Amino acid sequence: MNDYPLTIRLTPAGALAPGQSWPRPALDDWYALADPACRFHPDIRSILRVAATARPDVDIFYGDAVETAAPARGTVGKGAAQDRLILKPGFDITQLIAQDYIGWPLFIRGRALEALGPPGPEAGDAAGYDLLLRANAAGMMVERIAEILSARGATPAPDNLADRRRAVRAWLDQRLEEAEILPGRLPTTLRLHRPLAEPPEVTLIVPTRQTLCTLGEEAMRGRPLVLNLLESLAQSSWPMDRLTVLVGDDIEDGAAYADRDWPFRLERVVTRRAPDEPFNYARKMNALWPLARSEYVVFLNDDIVVRQPDWIEALMSFACDEDVGGVGARLLYPDGRIQHAGMVGGVMGTCTHVFIKQPATAPSYGNWADVHREYSMVTGAAFATRRSLLERINGFDEQFALDWNDVDMCLRMRLLGLRIVYTPHAELTHYESASRGASNLPGADLALFLERWSELLDNDPAYNPGLVRNSPLTAPAPLAYKGWWRE
């Protein structure tokens, strides 16, 4: 590539339509694939030149966008407040399958454009989406420029869902993956599901001290939380003969639940500790997971209750993928508000649960709470992974006795190049903190966590620098300047 001058050729998105002519691109030029409604940042050439020089490995860039309300030019005050900022996370193939969160425009190297060639007839009107999937299958690097690069006056019509579905099907076929593409939680989204002909053995690892339930339905109160969990597991659609529940119990007497017939295999281990020994969650879990005889394990707090029968299938649809480190679930409080829909870094000083305490039925920014996508970290309250991977990373770091141990584990998996996935299709109820009660965050744990991970947290690719940093209610931060699109 010639670093300077940089040639950007504007190519209408319609040129990607199946059946259109495909002129040979100039290999060292960059092409901006956009629909006619797009207006570009006035310094787009400089911005792209800087990005391409810093990242010569990238073949396709995309950026943030804004949708403006008319009149678009020369409007200040109330008009500016109507702008809708579309701030995107880094490239995420898991999220892209579920929704075309990237859209137009795309900035692509000429040599990559030539290598990919025109879309096939199956792409229909989802040509840009098809291009991104084929680039991913070819091992090309796609990256975000975290700056508003384009503006348009209205929300574009979404791609035809059937065309997107065919494009994903072609992507899966290239990867030789056996999976289904099902309707997602929202009308414009899709869901990746792996129908496992022979479901593998799965071990659920549940720590408990038989804390009594004080919330929820009357029939659940006054009983050990772990008993409520075990009874709800019977509603799961996963084959019971392939399900083992390994309970690590601080209490010697397990008659409340151990002397019953369960449809799954129940194995109970008494996790003794000295009277003066402080509780260490990470140490307890490290004593339990090596006892699992299956490759696939799910860490599960005892204050969880099953909401949907196919929650294990939803977790295993991603946990079976070798480039996935772990999978987190969608957790709701008993009153139906969101407790966990993924975690992002650089917010509230460290990291936070996005959309926490928001109604589960309320729209979320970018529909993130309702699509499977990648995060740098998810909660360990319901977390699927592999035993062999736990052996590789030596399980939990016991320096984090109560907090941060699950987040630290996710980040260590990420350093190995593995994906951390959140799926809303595994939905559970979580009586948060009931299993061990509220606790003050140890200052030493926090200091260690920040020393180890602050740089990564401040640049979390699953988030966007333009989103708020002082609240878990994900939304664009108030702009302190007039946007170029209003000049």
Residue 341 CA: distances (Å) to CA of 91, 327, 338, 382: 19, 12, 7, 11
Q: List CB contacts of 202: < 8 A, sequence separation 6 or more.
A: 238, 242, 243, 244, 294, 296, 297, 298, 312, 316
- Would residue 437 count as lying in a domain? yes
How is 125-192 classified by DSSP, letter by letter? T-HHHHHHHHHHHTT-EEEEEEEEEEEESSPPPPPPHHHHHHHHHHHHHHTT---EEEE-SSTT-EEE
- Whether residue 47 is found in the same domain as residue 12: yes
Q: Is residue 1 part of a domain?
A: no
Backbone angles phi, psi at 257, to 5 degrees: -140, -20
Q: What is the average per-residue pLDDT within 439-460?
A: 82
For residues 231 and 375, membership in a common domain is answered with: yes
The verdict on residue 476 lying in a domain is no
Query: Based on the domain organization, do 270 and 381 belong to the same domain?
Result: yes
Q: Is residue 94 part of a domain?
A: yes
**Burial 108-136, CB ≥16 within 10 A → b, else e:** bbbebbeebebbeeebbbbbbbbbbbbbb
Given pLDDT bands bounded at 50, 70 and 90, which one contains residue 377?
Answer: very high
Distance CA 198, CA 178 (A): 13
Selection from 64-78, 114-128, 279-293 with the highest mean pLDDT: 279-293
Lowest mean pLDDT among 38-52, 148-162, 176-190, 447-461: 148-162
Indicate whether 3 belongs to any domain: no
User: Is the domain of 141 the same as that of 222?
Assistant: no
- Whether the model pTM is above 0.85: yes
| Domain end position, chosen among 129, 159, 193 | 193
Regarding whether 221 and 182 lie in a shared domain, the answer is no
Strands 202-208 and 106-109 turn out to be unpaired
Does residue 238 have a pLDDT over 80?
yes
**Token reading at 305:** 């209750």
Amino acid at 458: D
Residue 169 lies in a domain: yes
Helix (H, G, I), strand (E, B) or coil at 437: coil
Q: Cβ–Cβ contacts within 10 Å for residue 176, how many?
A: 6
Are 365 and 397 in contact, with CB atoms under 8 Å apart? no
- Kindly state whether residues 333 and 224 are assigned to the same domain: yes
Burial of residue 307, with CB atoms counted within 10 A of its CB: 0-12 exposed, 13-18 middle, 19 or more buried: middle
* Within a domain: 464: no
Alpha-carbon distance 228 to 236, whole Å?
14
Domain end call among 193, 215, 242:
193
Asked if residue 228 and residue 107 are part of one domain, the reply reads no
Q: Write down the pLDDT at residue 10.
A: 56
Lowest mean pLDDT among 39-48, 73-82, 121-130, 469-478: 73-82
pLDDT band at 483 (very low <50, low <70, confident <90, very high): confident
Same domain, 142 and 279: no
CATH number, residue 57: 3.90.550.10
What domain range is 166 assigned to?
Answer: 8-193
214 and 350 co-located in one domain: yes
Q: What is the pLDDT of residue 436?
A: 45
The answer on 133 and 217 residing in a single domain is: no
Shared-domain flag, residues 367 and 251: yes
Cα distances (angstroms) measured from residue 47 to each of 44, 216, 448: 5, 53, 37
Residue 463 in domain: no
Q: What is the pLDDT of residues 337-374, one digit of tens each?
A: 999 999 999 998 899 999 999 999 999 999 999 999 99
In this structure, the answer to whether residues 239 and 315 fall within a common structural domain is yes
> Of 193, 217, 238, which residue is a domain's last?
193
Domains held by the chain: number: 2
Highest mean pLDDT: which of 156-165, 214-223, 290-299? 290-299
